[in-house]
Amino acid sequence: MSANGVSSNGAPDGGPVRKALDGVKVLDMTHVQAGPSCTQILAWLGADVIKVELPGRGDITRGQLQDVPDVDSLYFTMLNCNKRSITLNTKTPDGKAIFERLIEHCDVLVENFGPGVLDRQGFTWDRIREINPRISYASIKGFGPGKYEDFKAYETVAQAMGGGMSTTGWPDGPPTSTGAQIGDSGSGIHMVAAILAALYQRTHTGRGQRVSVAMQDSVLNLIRVKIRDQQRLAHGPLREYPNKTFSDYVPRSGNASGGGQPGQALKTAPGGENDYVYVIIQPQVWAPLAKLIGRPELVDDPKFATPAARLPHLDEVFGIVEEWTKTLTKFEVLDALNAIDVPCGPILSTKDLIEDESLAARGMIADVPHPERGTFKTVGCPLVLSDTPVEITTSPLLGEHNEEILREIGWDGKDVKALHAAGVL
């Protein structure tokens, strides 16, 4: 226990263990992926996340890509854990009144509707802060202010317009999107940081603020190294790239590492689609690596001895290493290379990952019981706080918490049945 009466786990003397965001109430108007990925992290950190959904349908993803008929899809359940759900038609007078009460009650409003949706319902930033000056109003949009601001966006639109697609893939292939959802979940993570900053600043100012993240900007932030390379191009070809020719923009560069140390994905046994290991050759590992693969003569060979000597013919360098990797499985390569401190990564398939014991042991692949679909697997929270580990609970059923939430906000208007009958809930 510390001098100020707070135990090392953050709990007040004798009180229950508190989560980092205990007491923070989030009014969650998000849908699809970008917004829900943000509010799920806030919920995992301990915020009370109240998801407001369109009566009858809810978040559109509940019914998309369903694997079990008439049961909330994995798309929904994997992005909405630890939240509560209230259905509310915010276009109706009673819906607006309840929504205003929720704004009074909450610390953060998060939404990722198309441009202007909440404004059209009368909930402008001015109106929202008039209702509750302490609330922060956080929006994820495709684009920031400017010529694209009125445009809708999805993941691949953001990847296209944030530079991800022009720089991903192979020089002789089409622009390619990455499976990592850098536009959607990438924006969600950026938004978590922005919201936490606004909450922290409120501790000094007492005021909430307008918080915005554009998906295009999030992708651009994540391809920062490609903008670095765009500027390097003015001084000559990018020698660490596998490309033979360059124009005046950064080309798609296959599996080049993107950093200062060269790397490549090399084949391993038995030769399946994902039997590869990504190997990075730092300067200091060249000598032990050459010895390990049975080519000790390369250590002092002037053609291979230094990073500068290897740079012009990296394909040949990695080809030599691949002659060795092809004789082993990717996990044998992983062990052998780590034994001599070579950074490397076997290409893990989604099946490898969902079955990985170490990920399961750390809760990064977690089993979550769901009242209608049974147990499903989800990806856990990558943010780890020593005092308050994340406990994953199921996603809510549509409107599961209608009565409970109305009670909490002291709603004394029409009762739940009447509101339901009128299409408000």
Interface residues with ligand COA (CB under 6 A)? 32-35, 52, 54, 88-91, 112-114, 117, 120, 140-142, 152-154, 184, 215
Q: 3-state SS of the chain: helix, strand, coil percent to 5?
A: 35, 15, 50
Q: What tokens appear for 66 in the block?
A: 């369903």
Helix and strand counts by DSSP (H, E) for the chain: 17, 11
Neighbours of 255 (CB within 10 A): 14
Q: How far apart are CA 262 and CA 282, in angstroms?
A: 8
* Residue with the CB atom nearest ligand COA in the bound state: 114
> What type of residue sits at position 107?
D
DSSP summary character for residue 316: H
Cβ proximity to ligand COA: between 59 and 107 the closer is 59
Cβ proximity to ligand COA: between 117 and 347 the closer is 117
Cβ proximity to ligand COA: between 153 and 342 the closer is 153
Judge whether 8 and 387 are in contact, CB under 8 Å. Answer: yes
Give first-to-last CA distance, the chain, whole Å.
46
Cβ proximity to ligand COA: between 120 and 313 the closer is 120
Cβ proximity to ligand COA: between 117 and 305 the closer is 117
Q: State the minimum distance, in angstroms, from the CB of residue 16 to ligand COA.
A: 33
Strands 276-280 and 263-267 turn out to be: antiparallel
Q: Which long-range contacts (CB under 8 A, 24 or more apart) does 285-289 make?
A: 285/340, 285/341, 285/342, 286/310, 288/340, 288/341, 288/342, 289/321, 289/337, 289/340, 289/342
Q: How far apart are CA 18 and CA 40, in angstroms?
A: 18
Q: State the minimum distance, in angstroms, from the CB of residue 61 to ligand COA.
A: 9
Give the active site residues.
184
Q: How far apart are CA 174 and CA 66, in angstroms?
A: 30
Cβ proximity to ligand COA: between 183 and 346 the closer is 183
Q: State the minimum distance, in angstroms, from the CB of residue 86 to ligand COA.
A: 9
Q: What tokens appear for 106 in the block?
A: 């909450």
What Rg value do the Cα atoms of the chain yield, rounded? 26
Instruction: Tell me the torsion sign for CA atoms 224, 230, 236, 240.
Output: positive
Judge whether 365 and 379 are in contact, CB under 8 Å. Answer: yes
Determine phi and psi for 395, rounding to 5 degrees. Answer: -75, 155
Q: State the minimum distance, in angstroms, from the CB of residue 155 to ligand COA.
A: 6
Q: State the minimum distance, in angstroms, from the CB of residue 31 to ligand COA.
A: 7
Cβ proximity to ligand COA: between 74 and 140 the closer is 140
Cβ proximity to ligand COA: between 140 and 333 the closer is 140
Q: State the minimum distance, in angstroms, from the CB of residue 129 to ligand COA.
A: 20
How many alpha carbons lie under 13 Å from residue 46 in its C-beta half-sphere?
Answer: 15
Instruction: Tell me the torsion sign for CA atoms 38, 39, 43, 48.
Output: positive
